[in-house]
Structure 1
Amino acid sequence: MSDIYVKLKELGLELPKAPAKGGVYSSSKGFGNNLVYISGCGPVMDTPVTGKVGKEFNKDEAKEFAKNSMLNVLAVLQAQIGDLNKVKQAVKILVFVASTDEFYEQPYVANGGSQLLVDLFGEDAGAPSRSAIGVNVLPGNIPVEIEAIFEIKE
C-alpha cells in the first residue's frame, strides 16, 4: 500500500485542518475492534458553502462538495489516529444531500466522497458500503454532509 499523503499530493489535494465541533458531541469515537466513527462533516474548506442541490448547485458542484466533505472527514480521522496510513479500510459512509424535491441523483453526488477514498486507499480498502440520502436541510444550510466508519490496522 502506498503512502496516503503522497497520493493526496499526486491528486493535487491536501488535508484541511480538522473542522471545529458545532455542538455537544465527539468529532470522532473509537469503538469495537479498531473501528473509528467520524461524525458528520460538511464541505466547508476556506469559505462557507450554503444552498440546496438542484437549486443553487448542480450535481457536479455537489459531487465536488462531497469530495471536500470527505477531506474534512479524513482530517478528523487523522486528528484521532495520527496517521492515515494506519487505515485498514473504509467500512461505511453515509452521505446526506440537501436537495430539492425534484433532485434524484444523491448517489451521483456521493460518488465524490467514495471516489476519493478509492483513489487514496485502493478499490478493496477504499470502496465503503454506502447510503446516499436526500434531505430537506442540513445544519448551517450546507449542501452535503458525510459521516464515516473506518477500520484501523492493529
Structure 2
Amino acid sequence: MSKIEERLAALGLVLPAPIKPPPGVVLPFRVVRVIGSRAYISGHSPQNTDGSIAAPLGKLGRDLTVAQGYTAARLTALSILGSLQRTLGDLDRITNWVRVFGMVNSGPGFNQQPSVINGFSDLILELWGSEAGAHSRSAVGMAELPFDIPVEIEGEVEIRS
C-alpha cells in the first residue's frame, strides 16, 4: 500500500469507482491525460463511492451552505484521486500538485467560492504536505455547472515515471 493510500485509510476515506454519468451522457475525453512528467486532470464532480454523482445538487448560497460546498469539494478531491490512481497505478507517483481550478455553482450574490474550494485544498495538503501539496489555485463562481453539480474541479500534477 502506498503512503498516500495509507493516509487515506487512516482518515477513513475511500476512493470512488469511475464516474457514472447520467443516462445518455457520453464523456468523449480522458479524465486524466499524461504527457511526459505531467498529468492533466479533467473537471471532476463530487461522487459517491459507487461512481454516481453525489447529492446534494444545486447552487451555493441558494440551495447549499458553505459547509455543504466544502464537503462537495472534498468529495471531488476523492473523485480526482480515484481517477489519478486508476491512470497512474500509484498515487505516490505524484511528486507535486501544480495547479487547481475550482468552479462553484453559485447563486446570485454568493461570493465565498474560496471557502468552498478549501474542501479540496485542505485534503490535498493533508495528504501530500505543505510542499508537494502546495498548488496554485483559482476558485470562481459559475452561473451553471453540468447536471446541477455544486462544484467542478480540474487540475495538473507533476509525476515521476
TM normalised by structure 1 equals 0.93
Whether the 8 Å CA contact 1:4–1:121 is kept in 2: the answer is yes
Partner of 1:121: 128
Query: How far apart, CA to CA, are the structure 1 residues paired with 2:56 and 2:45?
Result: 9
Mapped to 2, the partners of 1:60 and 1:134 lie a distance apart of 16
Q: Provide the C-alpha distance between the structure 2 equivalents of 1:111 and 1:153, rounded to a whole number of angstroms.
A: 26
* Matched residue, 1:19: 19
Letter of the structure 2 residue corresponding to residue 85 of structure 1: D
Q: Which residue does the alignment assign to 2:32?
A: 28
Give the unaligned 5+ runs of structure 2. Answer: none
Matches within 5 A, 1:88-99: 88-99=95-106
Closer/same/farther in 2, CA of residues 149 and 20 from structure 1, 3 Å limit: farther
Aligned-partner Cα distance in 2 for 1:18–1:133: 26
Match of 1:71 in 2: 78
Map of 1:37 onto structure 2: 40
Equivalent residue for 2:10?
Answer: 10
Compute the displacement of 1:19 (Å): 1.5
- What percent identity do the matched residue pairs reach? 36
Q: Is the partner of 1:8 in helix, strand or coil?
A: helix
Q: Name the aligned partner's letter for residue 113 of structure 2.
A: Q
In the alignment, is residue 107 of structure 1 matched against residue 138 of structure 2?
no
- What is the aligned residue count? 152
AA aligned opposite 2:46: P
Match of 2:90 in 1: 83
Aligned to 2:48, the other structure's residue is in SS state coil
Which residue identity does 2:32 align to in structure 1? S
Give the Cα separation in 2 of the matches to 1:137 and 1:59: 17
TM-aligned CA deviation for residue 48 of structure 1: 4.0
RMSD over aligned Cα atoms: 1.5
Structure 1 unaligned segments of length 5 or more: list them.
none
Residue in 2 aligned with 1:149? Answer: 156
Structure 1 runs of 4+ aligned residues shifted over 6 Å read none
TM-superposed deviation, 1:10 = 1.4
